[in-house]
Amino acid sequence: MNLEFLNDSMKGLLPEHLGIRLVEVEPDRVVGELVVADHHCTTPGVLHGGAVMALADTLGAYATATQLPAGARTTTLESKTNFLAATGVGETLRGETVPLHRGRRTMVWQTTLRNGAGRVAAVVTQTQMVIPAKASAEEQLTELFRDRSPEDAKALLVRLERAAAGIYEALAAGASDPAEREVLLANARREHENADALDVG
């Protein structure tokens, strides 16, 4: 994976604002770091839990994104964090994300975060939803007919032809140009004829 490209994709967003940086991205492992500064703290010198969760969430999101089919997106559905040790200012919090489940609709990742002393600071388990790419109109129509019997497919096609005729008739009713109206009505008649031909028997 191109680390420079992935890190550049954070520009102007929360991960860049926090100083999160990806250092390894592989299909089964994503590693990132955050150098703790005063503005990351909840009390003087101690890292805020929200920053811990933000690092883990970022790593889980990028781990999912590298597995997605073209055009698909992801968003976090659920995240559970166990805080186990503090991380102080000047330390580097390092997170390692590995997959627990990779499905078509959801992916589950576990991130182990270690503080500068190498102690486990937190363990985060998060579920990412896979949002498919939006299908084109042609793909949506094709999907309507998938796994249908020939009889069911034919009946559906008749309904679609009738629906198309109704659309042409509605457009004709609103057309002010007589020539345009006649073309629309001719199209409506053709759709009815197609439906009639299919509906025989």
Residue 85 structure tokens: 């040790």
Supply the pTM of this predicted model: 0.70
> Using one digit for the tens of pLDDT, what is the confidence trace for 149-169?
998 999 999 999 999 999 999
Q: Output the pLDDT for position 201.
A: 57
Q: Quote the number of domains for the chain.
A: 2
> Using one digit for the tens of pLDDT, what is the confidence trace for 174-184?
999 999 999 99
Q: Which CATH number do you get for residue 63?
A: 3.10.129.10
Residues 6 or more apart whose Cβ sits within 8 Å of residue 128: 60, 61, 64, 74, 75, 76, 77, 106, 107, 108, 109
21 or 197, which is more confident: 21
82/155 same-domain check? no
Least confident of 6-15, 135-144, 155-164, 184-193: 135-144
64/88 same-domain check? yes
Q: How far is CA 109 from the centre of its chain?
A: 15
Contact status, residue 61 vs residue 73, Cβ threshold 8 Å? no
95/155 same-domain check? no
Domain with 75 in it: 3-131
Residue 146 structure tokens: 């998938």
Q: Output the pLDDT for position 139.
A: 78
Contact status, residue 115 vs residue 121, Cβ threshold 8 Å? yes
pLDDT above 70 covers what percent of the chain? Answer: 99
142/176 same-domain check? yes
122/82 same-domain check? yes
